[in-house]
Amino acid sequence: MRSALLAAIEIARATLWRKRGSLLALAIGAGLFHYILVASYPAIGGIAAVEGVVRTFPLGLRRLLKIAPSLQAGFGLLNYLALGFFHPVFLGFGSAFVVGRATDALAGEIERGSIYLLLSRPVPRWALVLGKALELMLGAGLIALLGWLGMALGVWTTALPEPVPLSRYLLIALVAWLLFAALGAGALVISSWDNRTGRVVGLTSAWTLVSFLLDVIPAIAESPLGALNPWQHYDPQAILATGAVPIGAWLVLGGWIVIATALAALIFARRDLA
């Protein structure tokens, strides 16, 4: 068991190093996006301009962006910065990373034939899946952290009209990390039973997008099934307002990471690779 765990850690380390270029590009991109978001705030006219735009948002768009009803009337600088963590650019960086990594982790290795070299060593299949999952989660964490650091750098170097509680945004970034990791674990399940990267990319992208869309359909989002959707537990505006994350969010997102990774390992360990 110990040797298998060490092998999983080594697989994660080697994969991170081998694919560091793409990861750094996405992480730096997330950081630059948040830095520009803060630095450009004075140039766009400050809160008057932002509130003017928010007032024009229809109810459906406000729901899509998770601008809580209690915050719509007084949407200010802090809400504007929190909205950056729900912006399609930031979510796109994280989602693109986990979809790409999950696809390449198993289906990609099989399609290239490199999986046979990996498994020719005394490494159990579940350890390979665990190593790939660890690499995926560490990479997703780096993207979320660089997003927060970019925002923090913007706050430190830009004249803003009020103090910014960076610790609350760090908590938002932490939950963003868990969201990306949960989506990646779900994508890893798909990658564990298919051999074709093209098909897996399509299915994992659909999983990420459809789960997001289901969260904005009230009839589904408010049902018991909707509570299991990872997207439902990622609400930057609510975290900003309360400074806390509900226990249910920790349980659901953590459950997705653990259970989906275990399921992917089980499927991959029992399947025929031919």
Tens-place pLDDT, residues 176-217: 999 999 999 999 999 998 888 889 999 999 999 999 888 877
Count how many domains the chain has.
1
CA–CA distance, 245 with 247 (Å, rounded to integer): 6
The pLDDT tens digits for 21-77 are 999 999 999 999 999 999 988 876 655 555 555 555 555 555 555 555 544 455 678
Instruction: Extract the tokens encoding 219.
Output: 């009839």
What does the pLDDT read at residue 63? 58
CB atoms within 10 A of CB 53: 12
Structural domain for 81, as ranges: 2-270
| Radius of gyration over every alpha carbon of the chain, rounded to an integer in angstroms | 20
Question: Is the separation of the CB atoms in 269 and 124 below 8 Å?
Answer: yes
Question: Is the separation of the CB atoms in 258 and 251 below 8 Å?
Answer: no
pTM recorded for the entire structure:
0.89
The pLDDT tens digits for 115-169 are 777 777 778 889 999 999 999 999 999 999 999 999 999 999 998 888 999 999 9
pLDDT band at residue 2 using 50, 70 and 90 as cut-offs = confident
CA–CA distance, 14 with 30 (Å, rounded to integer): 23
